[in-house]
C-alpha cells in the first residue's frame, strides 16, 4: 500500500517578500501568497486527500486551509510543531544576504564559496547560518535532519494506508528531508513558495516522485504518475 505525500511550502509572507530570515516567527500570507495557495488548491482539487498536516505557524495553516477550501469532504487538518521551520536563533528577522556577508568576512570568499556549492551545499548553508548567529541558538544541521525525519515519521504513523496526504511546511525543513532522500534533486535555490514535492511511502520506504514543482502541467502529471516497483526504485530510504 502506498501513501502519497504532497509536500507544499507555504505561500509568500511579507518577510519572504522582503527577503528576511523568518524561521519560527509567525506571519500571515501576502495577497500574492493567498492567491497562489488558492490556485494550488484548484489544481489539487481532484486529489482525494484523506488527511492533511501543517506546521503550527500561521502561514502554513492558512496555506493548508486555502488549498483544502474546495475539497469535499474536507479532510482533517492536524497541526504538528515538528513541522516548524528551521530556527535561525538571533538571526531571525535579519536580511538573508547578511549570512553570506558574515561568512565571507569570517572565512574568506574562497572557503565560503566551497561551502555553498556542490554536494555539500545544503549542509554548508545550514552550518553557515549557525556559525553566523551571535547568540549561538540557531539549530544545528544534525538536529535539523533528525527533526525532519521525526516529523515525517509522525505523519506516516498518523496516515491511513493507500491514501493521498497533504503536508504544508517550510523551505528548510522540507529541504532537509529531500536532502536525505535524493540530495541531487534539491534545487540550488531550495524550494519556492507554494511549490509541490511528491514523496511516496511504500513498505516503509520513502521515494521521491517530484521536487519543487510549480508549473501546472507538472503538478497535474503527479496524478498520473505510476509508482515504481521495488526493483526499479532509484531514490528510496528506510
Q: Consult the annotation and say whether 16 binds a ligand.
A: yes
Is 66 annotated in a binding site? The answer is no
Three-class SS state of 203: coil
215: which 3 cell numbers?
508549473
Check whether 12 is labelled as a binding-site residue: yes
For the beta carbon of residue 234, count every other beta carbon within 10 angstroms: 8
The answer to the question of whether 131 is labelled as a binding residue is no
Residue 136 labeled ligand binder: no
- Given a contact cutoff of 8 angstroms between Cβ atoms, the answer to whether 176 and 145 are in contact is yes
13 annotated to a ligand binding site: yes
Signed CA dihedral, 195, 201, 202, 208: sign only: positive
Instruction: Dig out the grid coordinates for 77 from the structure.
Output: 487538518
Please state, in angstroms and rounded to a whole number, the distance separating the CA atoms of residues 165 and 200.
10
Nearest residue to 178 (alpha-carbon basis) of 5, 42, 23: 5
Confirm if 49 and 71 have CB atoms less than 8 A apart: yes
Cell of 114: 566551497
Question: Which member of 42, 71, 72, 85 is catalytic?
Answer: 85
Check if 85 is active-site: yes
Q: Which grid coordinates are listed for 229? A: 516497483
Is residue 114 a known part of a binding site?
A: no
Q: Which residues are annotated as a binding site for substrate?
A: 9-16, 59
Any idea which residues carry the catalytic annotation?
10, 85
Q: Which residues are annotated as a binding site?
A: 9-16, 59
Amino acid at each position: 500500500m502506498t501513501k502519497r505525500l504532497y509536500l507544499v511550502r507555504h505561500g509568500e509572507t511579507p518577510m519572504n517578500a522582503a527577503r528576511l530570515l523568518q524561521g519560527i516567527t509567525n506571519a500571515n500570507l501576502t495577497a500574492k501568497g493567498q492567491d497562489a495557495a488558492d490556485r494550488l488548491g484548484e489544481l489539487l482539487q481532484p486529489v482525494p486527500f484523506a488527511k492533511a498536516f501543517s506546521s503550527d505557524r500561521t502561514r502554513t495553516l492558512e496555506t493548508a486551509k486555502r488549498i483544502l477550501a474546495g475539497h469535499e469532504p474536507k479532510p482533517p487538518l492536524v497541526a504538528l510543531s515538528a513541522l516548524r521551520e528551521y530556527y535561525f536563533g538571533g538571526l531571525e528577522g535579519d536580511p538573508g544576504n547578511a549570512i553570506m556577508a558574515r561568512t565571507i568576512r569570517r572565512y574568506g570568499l574562497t572557503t565560503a564559496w566551497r561551502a555553498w556549492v556542490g554536494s555539500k551545499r545544503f549542509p554548508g548553508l545550514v552550518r553557515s547560518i549557525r556559525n553566523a548567529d551571535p547568540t549561538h541558538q540557531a539549530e544545528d544541521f544534525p538536529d535539523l535532519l533528525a527533526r525532519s525525519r521525526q516529523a515525517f515519521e509522525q505523519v506516516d504513523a498518523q496516515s491511513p494506508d493507500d491514501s493521498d496526504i497533504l503536508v504544508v511546511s517550510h523551505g528548510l525543513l522540507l529541504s532537509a528531508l529531500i536532502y536525505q532522500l535524493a540530495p541531487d534533486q534539491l534545487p540550488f535555490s531550495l524550494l519556492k513558495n507554494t511549490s509541490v514535492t511528491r514523496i511516496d511511502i511504500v513498505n516503509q520506504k520513502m521515494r521521491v516522485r517530484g521536487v519543487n514543482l510549480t508549473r501546472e502541467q507538472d503538478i497535474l502529471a503527479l496524478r498520473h504518475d505510476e509508482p515504481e516497483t521495488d526493483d526499479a526504485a532509484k531514490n528510496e530510504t528506510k
